[in-house]
Structure 1
């Protein structure tokens, strides 16, 4: 009996050490509740921390090129002013013509290069601002030093009949028929020592290949209206512009226009020379 109790005690001790549960024979086992592990709830999107905003880029914004105001091929009064200002500081020696041509491109490039600007030959806002600061506003005669001025308003005496309407103010000639302008052309006049007469005259003689007997110079397409004074083509006017003057005649520099005029004008047509 003692041995049985001792054996049972030894087995119980061993079971206690091993952690196992032994059910005695004929004795109901004590129920042990199972260990339950609660599931970890999934994180909700709402629980996530808001993302940090991206840091702005530190790269500088690309430089915007200055606006181009005028470039090769442009025409008009603004181009004339550009050319007149370039002439004031000796970057351009011809014109103004009112047309942005090769010589104007070259002049603008030179002006830009001298001042450390990109040598594009195009007049942009930066180039124009620099030019304005170095020059003065050109006068009317500077703008039209090479001609091209709009024809002046016709004198009232030009509004009837067939008339060569010559304005000394705008340095232009209108060929008018019954108040309608047929053609216009640049003209120049005599100097202060040999002035072109003003008033109302009539064409009294036409000479296609005339040569002056007084000055021994050609006067092609001559339309005489007062003594030895005539409207005629001048190669000197075509070559030198308003740097020269006539001996009293009305010089025309466009040979094509004066040739057409010569073929249309008749003896007896009126000539009006006025300021």
Structure 2
């Protein structure tokens, strides 16, 4: 025997079945232990399934960070060997080598002057080096590879060689003591050196005579009758050979030669010497 409550239950079930048939859906039993994700899969605590990170595609590795690039270490500046105002034998060699490559046309003087700065700048710029005008280690090595060891008279092409020790014959009286070894003239009085100056001599075909002589004639504005060339401040000591000023010596240095005379390159010094020397004073030309 069915009670009214049983009929109500049967009627409710029948109504729900009919509703499901109309909508096409089925009733799923939900596992109370699931967190609401389909198929009972659980999501991380506090995050919804939409927030979950999608899986990486098969065969693809996670992106790797490239290491930070290090800045290349700066090279130290080359050491400066010589610069304007320096004076030394090394500067003289630098100038002689610059003359060999035709960047310098004066000297060598041994003094790092404005002409040397200009020559070094030109040499550096031609070879892609910083145009500082200072000779650093890089510039010097490049110049060494392009030149040869300068000879003695290349180093003293315009004079500056220290005067040689006086010949014993120069130690008494008033003497023009001329050394072919150092290419210098000492004006000496009783063994004391009053002044020194650079000189040059004749070529092989017209050599300057050696020995002991005396000044026999002075001519302030002399002109050679044989070569038609000026011989200012001439002090003759052996035939047509004299000590005199030479503008060619002043301009070209030891790259030239006289016709046998003793040429002086410093006009101021020989002007002073000319005023002091007397006829009869001794002249000693020696090695």
TM-score category of the 2 structures, normalised to the smaller one: 0.7 to 0.9
Question: Are the equivalent residues in 1 in contact too, given 2:153–2:254 (CA < 8 A)?
Answer: no
Structure 2 alignment gaps of length 5 or more: 1-69
**Could you say which residue in structure 1 is the equivalent of 2:32?**
none
Query: How many residue pairs get matched?
Result: 218
**Could you say which residue in structure 2 is the equivalent of 1:91?**
103
Q: What is the TM-score of this pair, normalised by structure 1? A: 0.73
Deviation at 1:62, TM superposition (A): 5.5
**Could you say which residue in structure 2 is the equivalent of 1:116?**
128
The answer to whether residue 236 in structure 2 is matched with residue 224 in structure 1 is yes
Using the alignment, how far apart are the partners of 2:202 and 2:145 within structure 1?
37
The answer to whether residue 271 in structure 2 is matched with residue 259 in structure 1 is yes
**Could you say which residue in structure 2 is the equivalent of 1:195?**
207
Deviation at 1:240, TM superposition (A): 2.6
Using the alignment, how far apart are the partners of 1:226 and 1:210 within structure 2?
16
Q: Secondary structure at the match of 2:248?
A: helix
Using the alignment, how far apart are the partners of 2:247 and 2:80 within structure 1?
38
Deviation at 1:60, TM superposition (A): 6.3
Q: What is the TM-score of this pair, normalised by structure 2? A: 0.71
Using the alignment, how far apart are the partners of 1:187 and 1:94 within structure 2?
17
Using the alignment, how far apart are the partners of 2:156 and 2:266 within structure 1?
16
**Could you say which residue in structure 1 is the equivalent of 2:222?**
210
**Could you say which residue in structure 2 is the equivalent of 1:145?**
157
Using the alignment, how far apart are the partners of 2:147 and 2:221 within structure 1?
46
Q: Secondary structure at the match of 1:231?
A: strand
Change (3 A) 1:86 1:216: closer
Q: Name the stretch that deviates more: 173-182 or 101-110.
A: 101-110
Using the alignment, how far apart are the partners of 1:126 and 1:170 within structure 2?
34
**Could you say which residue in structure 2 is the equivalent of 1:105?**
117
Q: Secondary structure at the match of 2:97?
A: helix
Question: Are the equivalent residues in 1 in contact too, given 2:85–2:112 (CA < 8 A)?
Answer: yes
Q: CA RMSD in A?
A: 1.8
